[in-house]
Amino acid sequence: MKKILMTLAVAFVAVAANAQVYVGGNVGIASSKNGDADAVTTYKVLPEIGYNLDQNWAIGTTVGFGKGTPVNIEKLEDGMLQNYFTVEPYVRYTFVRSKYINAFVDGGFGYAHFNHAHGAAASVNAWSVGVKPGISVNLSPKVSFIAHVGFAGWKSAKADMDGAKSSNVWGVDLDGNNVTFGVYYNF
């Protein structure tokens, strides 16, 4: 067991020494209000780890949690907020690179499980496939400020109950509730 742990530690140090690994993540918060209804606050915390394959390509994953509303699900109260867990592996292509600013697009898929909440009839499983554009501001060689804005692709969600039908959405989502900000540390 000691040999395995030592091997993994040496491998991690070797990869980190080549400046190919990044860790960080995103946080997002939004408040919205429809008509006379109470304001609703949603949030997400999305830690992230990635590996730069070369100057333009990287792979990574986000694993996180938050509070929000699944895609319009049949038989759930409209606007009901639920806590959720999400996993989103991706491939990143950086198409603009400069000393201070990089522009990229993440292509991948995601899975989210929304828990029962405040009288909700069922939990919800949601899937997505698409792209998320982003920008990175390089504050130093080791630290970058990043932002993702929007999503273009397909989303599907289905309540975990007998007779439930899935809700599917195709399109582009560029509203203010779909913006995340984060920081990366580049090894």
User: 80: closest CA among 119, 27, 128, 35?
Assistant: 119
Confidence (pLDDT) at 74 = 46
Confidence (pLDDT) at 22 = 94
Task: Quick: pLDDT tens for 5-25.
Answer: 566 556 555 555 556 899 998
Distances (CA, A) of 174 to 49, 64, 112, 125, 177: 25, 21, 20, 23, 8
Phi, psi of 172 (to 5 degrees): -120, 130
Tokens found for residue 57 = 């390509």
Q: Delimit the domains of the chain by residue range.
A: 2-186
CB-CB contact of 45 with 27 (8 Å): yes
Confidence (pLDDT) at 5 = 55
Percent of the chain whose pLDDT exceeds 70: 79
Tokens found for residue 62 = 């986000």
- Position 143 confidence tier, pLDDT thresholds 50, 70, 90: very high
Query: Considering only 89-93, 113-117, 179-183, which range has the smallest mean pLDDT?
Result: 113-117
Decide which of 2.40.160.20, 2.40.10.10, 3.40.720.10, 1.20.200.10 is the CATH code for 2-186: 2.40.160.20
Most confident of 31-35, 77-81, 150-154: 150-154
> What global pTM score does this model have?
0.76
